[in-house]
Structure 1
Amino acid sequence: MSKIAFVFPGQGTQYVGMGKELYENNELAKREFDKIFSNLDFDLKSVMFEGSEEELKDTKNTQPAIVAMSLVLEKMLREKGIEPNYVAGHSVGEYAAIGSAGFLSMEDAVKLTSLRGKAMSKVSGEVAGTMAAIIGLDADKIVETLKSVDGIAEAVNFNEPKQTVIAGEKEAIGKACIALKEAGARRAMELSVSGPFHSSLMQPAGEILKEALEEFKFEDSSVVLIANTTVKEITKVDELKDELYRQSFGPVKWVDTILALKEAGVTTIYEIGPGKVLNGLIKKIDKEIEVINIEKLSDLV
């Protein structure tokens, strides 16, 4: 029998006024957003609906904003009777996935995301790191080439077969970009980000998060999460906590995640949240999977 997966986007998909249309025009969306907003120690509503692009780009705001909008849309989709067999999320999107699967309540999933965003913001401010997108070179070749680069430069986001993101020390990433172009990359460009996300330099953020996880009430799930870092199927709390700890300084294996969903019998994927980034990536991994975007009220008619 064909199966359904819900997938959730990561950082970079945020935009000014995100979620406002839903809040102002749908009673269920307003109710769910208000639950989320009242569970936080800062005014996420103002940041999402009225905040500047600069405010939204701040990691500690970006992450809960994306997860909040994604989870409200997910509730609205479930109201239509559509339920997932599997969930997955790209980077911070994994936090929307755990809320969707019921490991945590929706509002606690956003609260935990907020703590993650603060931890990552703090640590990235303490290390001189960055990220770069490498286009047109196989991931294996990238990993091999990075071994010869001095300093910390790691492949961290395996987005699609010919697009991998690397992260690490600023100087090492600069050298890596030169080496990867020489190895045959079509493009190697530094990204405008505030830190070396998903690299080993972010391990201190993982340690902060590990402590924070103990403050939340998790439950096992009947919906299967495909983990970012290991691509394992997760339904148990202990396994999930280990994944969330490692994910802040471990890789996002998106290509393998989509292939695992296909292998499990998934034929339809709903990308739920701001933007259509994952749709583009999924099409480059496997053209046969149907991808449906859920971002606006009109997508839910």
Structure 2
Amino acid sequence: MKAYIFPGQGAQFVGMGKDLYENPQAKELFEQANEIVGFRISDIMFGGTDEELKQTNVTQPAIFLHSVILAKVLGESFKPAMVAGHSLGEFSALVAADALSFEDGLRLVVARANAMQKACEVRPSTMAAILGLADEVVEQICAGIEEVVVPANYNCPGQLVISGSIEGIDKACEQLTAAGAKRALKLNVGGAFHSPLMEPAKVELQAAIEQTDISAPICPIYQNVNAHPTTDPAVIKQNLIAQLTGAVRWTQTAVNMIADGGTEFIEVGPGNVLQGLVKKVSRDVQTSSASLA
């Protein structure tokens, strides 16, 4: 079964989507997007600088556009049995699976990016990648720190990103390194995404999501907050709202998609990071199955 997966923030690169612009349908969608966002985002995507592309209000809609327009260009060959997206990628997945219109999806992504940027400015915060520790160890250490610090992205076995206040992240990195982490690397991000510090953004985005029409997708979508499949528009909305302060459970999502028959994982959008993560999850599942046999 084909599983289509959609990347999130960090997958961007200068020149992304430029090849798609030659397609008439893609060109029309890019020009429509330029009008919706209020500036020529396509120009920044195709030939801007890294610094311009790194701005949150550019990065998120740029990745969304690359993914969604690529899915549209695929046309009839885009026949997913299941879809999922990493963080921002969940919005791309919903549009590609016909649960959200292109226009509404882009407006939500723009609203999300702006709300997250505002929340980042309220309180300095950051994230860190923790490599080489079991999820349970990371969870336990984070829970014992008084400052805000939580598991944010369960990317694959042995790779978990934590999120929180600068003080909380510093303490957690120190303790996690002492506990045997191969690396505890602070990330160059503007804030504590997928943590309680995004509550102001969640409140702002909730209003926008509740006012947006969401239909049943053409196939199940495995959502970040619980890694479970759904086609229920009401559930999809609830999970989208919870996503900003909840963890991205990508490891669990990949496990569930594989268990439900996903055999071919196709990444739609810039890069192939998610395919690499799924392969690591798949190897872990196979190893676990072999040890139980």
Fold match (TM-score > 0.5): yes
Amino acid paired to 1:18: M
Paired residue for 2:151? 155
Normalized per residue, the structure richer in helix is: 2
- Per-residue deviation at 1:287? 4.1
- Per-residue deviation at 1:69? 0.4
- Give the aligned length: 285
CA distance in 2, matches of 1:38, 1:6: 28
CA contact (8 A) 1:134 1:188 kept: yes
CA distance in 1, matches of 2:6, 2:128: 22
Q: Does 1:164 align with 2:166?
A: no
Q: Any gaps of 5 or more consecutive residues in structure 2?
A: 286-293
Amino acid paired to 1:224: P
- Per-residue deviation at 1:205? 0.5
Amino acid paired to 1:258: A
Q: Which moved more, 1:117-126 or 1:35-44?
A: 35-44
CA distance in 2, matches of 1:224, 1:273: 19
Paired residue for 1:294? none
Matched residue SS, 1:155: strand
Q: Does 1:74 align with 2:71?
A: yes
CA distance in 2, matches of 1:135, 1:16: 28
Paired residue for 1:225? 221
- Per-residue deviation at 1:186? 0.4
Q: Does 1:64 align with 2:61?
A: yes
Alignment root-mean-square deviation, CA: 1.6
Matched residue SS, 2:84: strand
Amino acid paired to 1:165: V
- Per-residue deviation at 1:206? 0.6
Amino acid paired to 2:71: E
- Per-residue deviation at 1:220? 2.0
Paired residue for 1:135? 131
CA distance in 1, matches of 2:213, 2:42: 24
Paired residue for 2:97? 101
Paired residue for 1:13? 11
For residues 239-258 of structure 1, give each alpha carbon's deviation from its aligned partner in whole angstroms, at most 9, with x where no partner exists: 11111111011000000000
Amino acid paired to 1:46: D
Q: Does 1:240 align with 2:221?
A: no
Q: Which moved more, 1:87-96 or 1:230-239?
A: 230-239
- Per-residue deviation at 1:288? 10
Question: Pairwise mapping of residues 204-283 of structure 1 onto structure 2 (< 5 A)?
Answer: 204-283=200-279
Paired residue for 2:170? 174
CA contact (8 A) 1:145 1:183 kept: no
Amino acid paired to 1:239: V
CA distance in 1, matches of 2:150, 2:233: 29
CA distance in 2, matches of 1:37, 1:234: 32
- Per-residue deviation at 1:214? 3.3
CA distance in 2, matches of 1:188, 1:287: 23
CA distance in 1, matches of 2:30, 2:283: 34
CA distance in 2, matches of 1:184, 1:100: 41
CA distance in 2, matches of 1:264, 1:84: 13
For residues 13-70 of structure 1, give each alpha carbon's deviation from its aligned partner in whole angstroms, at most 9, with x where no partner exists: 11112111221x3223223323333333333222222322111111111101000000
Q: Any gaps of 5 or more consecutive residues in structure 1?
A: 290-301
Amino acid paired to 2:99: F
Q: Which moved more, 1:50-59 or 1:94-103?
A: 50-59
Paired residue for 1:27? 24
For residues 90-140 of structure 1, give each alpha carbon's deviation from its aligned partner in whole angstroms, at most 9, with x where no partner exists: 010111011011111123212211110000011011111100000111111
